[in-house]
Structure 1
Amino acid sequence: MTAPHIEVLPDKAALVERALTLSVQLIQDAIAQRGRCTLALAGGSTPKPLYEALAQTNLPWSFLHIFWGDERYVPIDHPDSNAGMAKTAWLERVPIPPQQIHPVPTAAGDPAADAHQYEQSLRSVFPDADVPTFDLIFLGMGDDGHTASLFPHTEALQVRDRLVTVGHKDGQPRITFTVPLINQARTVLFLVAGANKQHALSQVFAEEGDAQMFPSRLIHSQSLWWLLDHGAGQALLPR
């Protein structure tokens, strides 16, 4: 297993700047090598300034396919929608063809049915792959160690026979990529900010630990990056 790349940046602004540089390079490389770039986005407050910065770059937008690694079970115009946030911050401000933006469906009134529909959407873009290989998946991490909507001690952590499943937080359904789909990615990029993440990070990077309690331990992609601000990552710095 390849060791992860771990970088501790001075503050959140530096984290976003580093993430922008790395993301632009990965997007450009994917298009040069494979003729397109497939991305899965994260929600939350940490990636929003990255999306706003990406909106200011000059990329070959027509070659991007955009998905989401997870979504709250709310309409896209709801303030909690991951897709709604990304569209406002980035996607509505650049000329990505609309048919290449693939938000998670949340309108069926049945999360399992919408999860199945999203898996079919994935397979339409990756028709020849049993488990699709994304070029880049953005992830965050909560202070409980969850990532995407893979929460501690939930059934979603065990799913290995699907690409998309239903996660739960406090009794509320969410739709999420499964562990095998995330781990198939060429690159996974974690963006983690805040001192409240220190304990979870110490458990994620411990030599031995409980992945059911700290699900981010389950993520092992071909190339795994952790970009941390100083508040989150200071405990990992050499003494």
Structure 2
Amino acid sequence: MGILLPLTMVASFFACLFFLGQFIWVRVRNKPKKRFGTWLIVANLIMFGAGGLYGQTISSSSQQTETSQISKKGSHSAAKKKADATAKAESITAAKKASKASSISQAKAASLSIERSERAESESVRAESISIATSESVASEQSKQAADESSRVVASQAAEKSSQQAAQQAAVASSNAAAAAQSQQVNSRPVYITATGKRYHFDPNCRGLNRARSVSQTTLADAQAQGFTQCLFE
């Protein structure tokens, strides 16, 4: 717009000069030469007037251009300041949002950390409870097994002792029976005694009987019951 207006004014000025020249040329050809000086003066005045008008127009146009440029610079500066202020406000808003987001993120992270810690502690307590329960169960089972084993050992020992006692009793009974049988056999063994002697003899040909007048046969038990003792020669 600043370049178009001066070009338009220059074109208008030259157009005026062209028409003025044509007018002067026509007047010079058609009128006497005496009026040529007058028309030349008029033409010069017109040209000076047009030049002054053109100068004023150019000056006004320059002022308008400078004013427009200043206005543009002012508006550009204001727009720049506004843009800077807007950018600064947006930066502050973004910083506040980032700080708020960071605070929220930190709070969430802290909450998540606390939740994980509580969950881990709960899992640890649960695992410990399960371990204690398992240990108690194992201990109870081992105690039960130990008690059963002890009862079994006691019962086995009692049975073995009873068996040993029974065996001992049977052996004693057998021994007693054998001793009794042997004693009975011994007691029923025939011996020989005399009416005047005090000894019993197992052998009827014992030399202790050589001087006896009469020899009688009896059992060892009867002879011992009568007070007879064994012969010293046997």
Scaled by the length of structure 1, the TM-score of the pair is: 0.12
Structure possessing the higher relative contact order (Cα contacts under 8 Å, 6 or more residues apart): 1
Structure with max Cα Rg: 2
Say which structure is richer in strand. Answer: 1
Say which structure is richer in helix. Answer: 2
